Structure 1
Amino acid sequence: MRASRLLSILLLLQTRGRLTARQLADILEVSVRTIYRDVEALHAAGVPLFGDAGPAGGYQLVDGYRTRLTGMTPGEAEALFLAGMPGPAAELGLGEVVAAAQLKIQAALPAEMRERATRIQERFHLDAHGWYHDGDHSPHLAALADAVWNQRRVRIRYHRWKEPVEVTRDLDPYAVVLKGGKWYLVGHGDDQIRTYRVHKVVGLTVLDATFERPRDFDLGAYWRSFLQEFRTRLYRSEAVVRVSPPGVLRMRELMSAAVVDSMDQTATCPDEEGWVTAVVPIESLDHAQSEFMRLGSMVEVLKPCELRERLQATARDLAEMYLS
Structure 2
Amino acid sequence: MSTARAERLVNLVLALLSTRQYLTAERIRGIVPGYADAASDEAYYRMFERDKTELRELGIPLETGRNSAFDAIEGYRIARRDYELGEIDLAPDEAAAVGLAVRLWDSPELTGQAQGALVKLRAAGVEVDDQAPTVVEPRVRAEPAFGPLLAAVQNGQAVRFEYRRSGSPERMMRTLEPWGVVSWRARWYVVGHDRDRGATRCFRLSRLTGQVKPVGRAGEVRRPDGINLLQLVSVTGEAEQAPVATARIWVADGRAAGVRRRGTVVGRSHADGEEGDVVEIALYFPESAADWVAAHGPDVLVLEPDVLAKAVGDRLEAIVAQQTRDAHQGSQW
Give the TM-score normalised by the residue count of structure 1: 0.43
Give the TM-score normalised by the residue count of structure 2: 0.42
